[in-house]
Amino acid sequence: MSSESAEVRAAAAPQTATRTTATRPMLTLIKREFWEHAALWVAPLVVTAALIIGAIFGRAYGPGTMPVSLGDVPATPQGLRAISTTVLVMFSGGSQYVVMSIVLWFYATACLYNERRDRSILFWKSMPVSDAKTVISKFLMALAVVPLYVYVVTLLTTLVASGIIAIPRFSGPGGLSLWDGGAWVRAEAYSFVWLVLAVLWYAPLTAYLLLVSAWARRNVQLWALSPLIAIIVERIAFGTHYLSTWILYRLGPGWQSQSEQWLERLFAGPFYYTSGGSSSPVQLFAGMQPLKGFGNIDLWIGLAVAVAFLYAAVRVRRYRDDT
């Protein structure tokens, strides 16, 4: 074949008009993340399966009749139902969000690192998708898409688990139901607000991990943990712990307002609630004002820092050339 024949053939080829079809880039980018990181959608389902199996065993082998008291305090059926429903929601949520945090840590550190390691970044960059859009899609995954998905999964889990534990073991008046709809709605609403606050509170950490992921040449986990190394260095070299105080504050549950101490309440279990004398769903959340968390200026400063980290991650992905 000569170049002439190539040209003849080219001339004969039909002229194609420029086609343009509608695209949904952000939705596609989000789907892409779930294809690559299956743990993002599988892990919550695994936790759900474990919780439901736990509920079935609990129902089969747990108490079949109502206890007359919790600790020293006499229990009312209504109070017991409210407590058990709330604890169920909190425990399911707690398990799901701990697993989610671990999964998201590995997701955030891997998502901009793996594409460079396997050079697939050259494929992604051959598509008309800006670096900003790519980085934002990954940030949105960790900030909104995955937490929302886990929230919905958890909500459905508590419904199923509630249904299981609500089945009376013995028919008749001795049968025990541990389900309280009002307490459930309230607990779900509160945990949603806490989830939003927590996700926003940890946004700078997420953005930092994305930046490390875009930047590190190797040992991405080590770089992600480098602030901890800085803490040790500070302790040894200067004998101070400003850095550790500050980092621990940012890593801790700084998003819950001081008055809440809800973690404490959760871990203290039902006894905490009943020690006041009576146990109603109203009292369970008495004094809690989760929306107050939005008034914490540190939350908003953190978000500004997160934006700066994201911007840096976009720049690094745009101009780094190590393929």
Partner 1 sequence: MTTVIEARNLSKAYGATHALDGVSFSIESGRIVGMIGPNGAGKTTALKGILGLSDFAGELTVLGRNPRTERDRLMQDVCFIADVAVLPKWIRVRNALDYVEGVHPRFDRARAETFLSRTDIRQGSRVRELSKGMVTQLHLALILAIDARLLVLDEPTLGLDLLYRRQFYDTLLNDYFDKERTILVTTHQVEEIEHLLTDVIFLASGHIVLSTTVDAIPDRYLQLTVGPDGVSRARELHPFYEREVFGRTALFYEGRSARELEPLGEVRAPSIADLFVAKIQSLDARRTPAGLGSGAAPGPAQSAPGASS
Residues that bind partner 1 (CB under 8 A): 1-3, 6-7, 9-11, 13-16, 18-25, 27-29, 31-32, 35-36, 115, 118-123, 125-130, 319, 321, 323
Angle at 100 between CA 94 and CA 104, to 5 degrees: 150
**In the bound complex, what is the minimum distance in angstroms from residue 40's beta carbon to partner 1?**
13
Closer CB to partner 1, 36 or 234, in the complex: 36
Cβ atoms < 10 Å from Cβ of 148 = 14
Q: Please report which helix (H) or strand (E) contains residue 113, including its range.
A: none
**In the bound complex, what is the minimum distance in angstroms from residue 156's beta carbon to partner 1?**
26
**In the bound complex, what is the minimum distance in angstroms from residue 265's beta carbon to partner 1?**
43
**In the bound complex, what is the minimum distance in angstroms from residue 42's beta carbon to partner 1?**
14
Cα–Cα distance for residue pair 276/263, rounded to 1 Å: 18
Q: Do 314 and 135 form a contact (C-beta atoms < 8 A)?
A: yes
Closer CB to partner 1, 125 or 265, in the complex: 125
**In the bound complex, what is the minimum distance in angstroms from residue 43's beta carbon to partner 1?**
17
Closer CB to partner 1, 59 or 116, in the complex: 116
Q: Give residues with Cβ within 8 angstroms of 263, minimum separation 6.
A: 253, 256
Closest by CA position to 144, among listed 202, 73, 229: 202
Closer CB to partner 1, 28 or 101, in the complex: 28
Cβ atoms < 10 Å from Cβ of 160 = 13
**In the bound complex, what is the minimum distance in angstroms from residue 312's beta carbon to partner 1?**
17
Phi/psi of residue 73, each to 5°? -100, 130
Closer CB to partner 1, 7 or 298, in the complex: 7
Proportion of the chain in helix, strand, coil states, percent, rounded to 5: 70, 0, 30
State both tokens at 118. Answer: 């396997």
**In the bound complex, what is the minimum distance in angstroms from residue 126's beta carbon to partner 1?**
5
Q: Give residues with Cβ within 8 angstroms of 219, minimum separation 6.
A: none
**In the bound complex, what is the minimum distance in angstroms from residue 33's beta carbon to partner 1?**
11
Closer CB to partner 1, 2 or 171, in the complex: 2
Closer CB to partner 1, 114 or 177, in the complex: 114
Q: Give residues with Cβ within 8 angstroms of 307, minimum separation 6.
A: 207
Cβ atoms < 10 Å from Cβ of 4 = 8
Closer CB to partner 1, 115 or 188, in the complex: 115
Q: Do 165 and 58 form a contact (C-beta atoms < 8 A)?
A: yes
